[in-house]
Amino acid sequence: MSAVVFEHVPVADLPAAWRAKLAKAGDTLVTVRIEEEAQAAPKEEFTTDDPAFGIWRDREDTADVAAWLSKIRKPRYNRNGSRNPP
């Protein structure tokens, strides 16, 4: 985030709308800090018309994906990564 700071600015030199909000004498010195406002990233919605998308979302056996993958891979591979004979 970047900011611009103006120090010791006479109130009389400020824009009229700012002067009205301050209600200070024209010879009073102020510091003006202008910061960039953070903006929220636009939320993108994912949509698809593919009927196969999400067909497994209600399966209870795949709730823990890592455990499920380990279970289905275990019979095919040894602990060291070598493949089991068919």
Give the model confidence (pLDDT) of 14-60 as tens digits: 888 888 888 777 788 999 999 988 888 888 887 788 888 888 888 88
14 belongs to a structural domain: yes
Secondary structure, 3-state, 19-30: HHHHCCCCCCEE
In a domain, 76, yes or no: no
Coil, strand or helix: which one is 1?
A: coil
Q: Around 50, how many Cα atoms within 13 Å sit in the side-chain half-sphere?
A: 7
Q: What percent of the chain has pLDDT over 70?
A: 97
The pLDDT of residue 1: 63
pLDDT tens track for 57-79: 888 888 888 988 888 877 777 88
pTM: 0.40
How many distinct structural domains can be found in the chain? 1
Is 31 within the bounds of a domain? yes
Distance in angstroms (rounded) separating the CA atoms of residues 60 and 16:
65
Written as one string, the DSSP assignment of 34-50 is: EEPPP-PPPPPPP----
